[in-house]
Structure 1
Amino acid sequence: MATNYFSEEMVFLILSHLPVISLLRFKSVCKTWLSIITSPQFVEAHLANSRNKQASVLKASYYWRVFSMDTVEESVELKLPSRLEGMVYYMRSCNGLVCLSNESSYDICIWNPCTRQYKMLYAPNYEINQVGVCLGFGFDSVGNDYKILRIVTKVVRNTWGSIINMGNFSEAQLYSANADTWKMIRTPDTIKMSFWHKLKRFCGPDISGKLYMEGEGELLPFDLRNDLFGEIVVLPFPDYVEQKRIKKSKILDFEGSVAMVYESAGDESVMSLWMLDDDGLWIKKFNLEMDLELDRTYLYLGAQHFLGLNFVFGYKFYNYTKKTTKKLPFPAHLTDVKSVAKFTQSLVSLEGFQSQE
């Protein structure tokens, strides 16, 4: 009955624009719809349509029993897999999959919160004297493979187990979802140990098949397609004291390019978005309104919307073309939120996924 009035191609097209929660219900309509919705071609088409929409904000509470998916219009609470409660520290999202880990980045989970499926991973060769320094998650579009990059370093601990000294060696480990294995990745000899010691805890988002690690005034790209580290990229204003610029964002994905927000520290304060072009040069894209009082800019969600934070009033959506702001629909004060990530709904599933209880 469901396909009598429309061709199967038309049903495919219509369904590919619907949210995941509707598609999960529609799988029970008939065998034809079930076949369409579960086909790899449909999953890919639905993801492509989702990418063209404004992304949601995936928000994690400090208490870890509260996850929510927020848009400008609404907020939906999500339930974590039971094995994750009380341990989540890191969160990154790619194509509707979310990578979560504990503080040491030893227990790692890949989770699709829309389909309520997940897979637990465990980092290789874990030792008490090995500490996770940086974690990244992204997609290799050539190999159709989801990958996790984990940077670790050796440490010296006292008799009580506390770290008293960072080691002089860092190593990189890479997980492939297709192979379901970890492998060692050679770190460039040209990268000084001081860079690894000052490395931020989390990689930036997957931007056109690359992860970017941030050190002190520098970015180190990692190519997910070739499993190789690239050349160091210097930030627009690495010495912000002399340049009179203050960094106001982490690494942003702005329309498929690496971007960062800086604020001038002079009498005429202006907050600006700077974008890295194909030649490795930083180009000033446009200014943001200073009367917004955004202390940090966290995400670019597409459709002209940023997610920013005011230390007093909490998280806000900001439309840079209309110069308007709007609070998140779910309470989102600084003290309530541990981490935020850009999120796109999808039906993507990996081998070995299991359903939440």
Structure 2
Amino acid sequence: MKPKVMDSDNPFLPEEIMTNILKCLPVKSLIRFRCVCKHWKNLIKSPSFIEEHLQHSSNENPLLLLQWDAKCDNQRLRMIDCEMRVLEVHPPPLILREMSEIVGCSNGLLCVKIFDYCGASLPSLLLWNPATIKVRKVPRTIYNLDDGDFYVGFRFSPIVNDYKIVISREKELDQEDNRVEVYSLSTGLWREVKVEDFGGVRLHSHPVTANGSIFWPGDDSEDDWMIIAFDITMEVFSLLPPPASLYFGSRPCLTAYENKLATVIENHELCAIDFWLMDERTSASGQRCSWSKKYTISTCLSWYPRCIWMDQIVCDVTDLYKSESEESECEANNGRHTVLSLLNLRTHVLEKNFIHRYRVSGIFKYAESLVSVGNYHV
């Protein structure tokens, strides 16, 4: 049988080839191409194409989204690609340009906390896709957010095909007046979630998301470090032990690596850091949890890990400032400034210093996407 030959008079590409080409393009181009024809419009808006484009964007063009302290820089957002180039970020809507903080990132969607220092209004939450420039206002919580500290977790659950926001106040989880609320993007509603008694474990930092769960670092009344996990699908809390090897005075950094929970711990005895990866846990009860130490990396510098990105630890490295232009910025840090750097997990070499700024308030792993923030926008 002779192989089938494509008709040379046919000017159209096969559907599969056309889809593969389109999914490699940036969101800005795809939005314009929806006007080419009805077929392209329907294709680019289809859930299957949006998922394929997201997977390609996450694997082939991973980005870091950096948020500066408002007092440090008027241009508060930066995007860094895998070649350490600074990319353009679409100017955010007016409501996001001041008095806001990014508190979560998932599949190209950002969860943003809006607050008013003057006390004119209570804090509120927004969902924002910087690539499509779409914003959705999240309804008020069941119990209105006050000016106190509260921690926000934001994550997509592929099992239930839904994005969820979790809010917990900075209180002991066994207090009767503690309230944890969960917002579902698909229903547009908040629900109150029951919290078990964890013996007075307190939350003390923003959470990390990995493997379908949200993890908060916390400690108990004796200052022992613990991890509180929230299963996004089942909406159940559990208490997890940290790695067995902890050092006095060290404060482990929770992060995610290969979609697993990881932690970086200072090893004062060896003047090094230990990198641990959680291999197994029970999502509901938390009775079984195993950790394995992957790396011990020697370091003689003063540095603090922020997250893991492309087999590299993004960390703040403190060093003497080297120019008069940086002097005023460093005075508040006792004559030193912090450089955002990359530490390679494989070679254990501090490879690159890519941001010479001191006040980077938030770092998020990001990928451009066409994911919608919902049916209505502001």
TM-score interval, normalised by the smaller of the two chains: 0.7 to 0.9
- How far the C-alpha of 1:49 sits from its partner, in A, is 1.8
Deviation at 1:13, TM superposition (A): 1.4
Aligned length: 326
Structure 1 residues 28 and 172: CA distance shift in structure 2, 3 A: same
Superposition deviation, residue 12 in structure 1? 0.5
1:37-93 CA deviation, whole Å, 9 max, x = no partner? 121110011112223235211111212652111124311242222112222134221
Name which of 54, 59, 68 aligns with 2:78: 68
Aligned sequence identity (%):
24
Q: For residue 169 of structure 1, report the CA deviation from its aligned partner.
A: 2.7
Match of 1:290 in 2: 299
Counterpart in the other structure of 2:260: 257
User: Relative to structure 1, is the Cα distance of residues 239 and 290 closer, same or farther in structure 2, using a 3 angstrom cutoff?
Assistant: closer
1:182 matched to 2:182? The reply is: no
What do residues 132-152 of structure 1 show as CA deviations (whole Å, max 9, x unaligned)? Answer: 432100011111100000013
Give the Cα–Cα distance (whole angstroms) in 2 for the partners of residues 288 and 56 of structure 1.
Answer: 25
1:12 aligns with 2:37: no
Q: Which runs of 5+ in 2 are unaligned?
A: 1-9, 117-121, 220-224, 282-288, 319-336
- 2:278 pairs with one of 272, 276, 279: 276
Q: What amino acid does structure 2 have at the position aligned with 1:314?
A: V
Give distance in 2, aligned partners of 1:128 and 1:11: 47
Quick one: which amino acid aligns to residue 93 of structure 1? C
TM-score normalised by the chain length of structure 1: 0.82
TM-score (norm 2): 0.78
Structure 1, unmatched stretches of 5+, are: 156-166
| Structure 2 match to 1:124 | 141
* Contact kept in structure 2, 1:72 and 1:326, CA below 8 Å: no
Matched letter for residue 184 of structure 2: S
Please tell me whether the aligned partners of residues 123 and 147 of structure 2 are also in contact (alpha carbons under 8 angstroms).
Answer: no
Structure 1 145/129 Cα, relative in aligned 2: closer, same or farther at 3 Å? closer
Among 204, 224, 237, the residue aligned to 2:232: 224
Equivalent in the alignment of 1:306: 313
Residues 133, 201 of structure 1: 8 Å contact kept = no
- Mapped to 2, the partners of 1:207 and 1:9 lie a distance apart of 32
The 1:151–1:17 alpha-carbon spacing in structure 2 relative to 1, beyond 3 Å, is same
Contact 1:131 1:154 in 2 (8 A): no
Amino acid at match of 1:199: L
Between 1 and 2, higher relative CO (CA 8 Å, sep ≥ 6) is seen in: 1
- Partners of 1:141 and 1:282 in 2: how far apart? 25
Deviation string for 1:222-277 (max 9, x for gaps)? 011111112x1122258521xxx73452x1111011101112111x3222210111
Structure 2 equivalent of residue 160 of structure 1: none
CA distance in 2, matches of 1:182, 1:263: 39
Residues in 2 aligned to 1:146 and 1:309: alpha-carbon distance in whole angstroms:
31
Residue 191 of structure 1 pairs with residue 198 of structure 2: yes
Structure 1 pair 4–213 and aligned structure 2 pair: CA distance change class (3 A): same
| Partner Cα separation in structure 1 for residue 35 and residue 145 of structure 2 | 48
Q: Would you say the 8 A contact 1:65–1:80 is kept in 2?
A: no
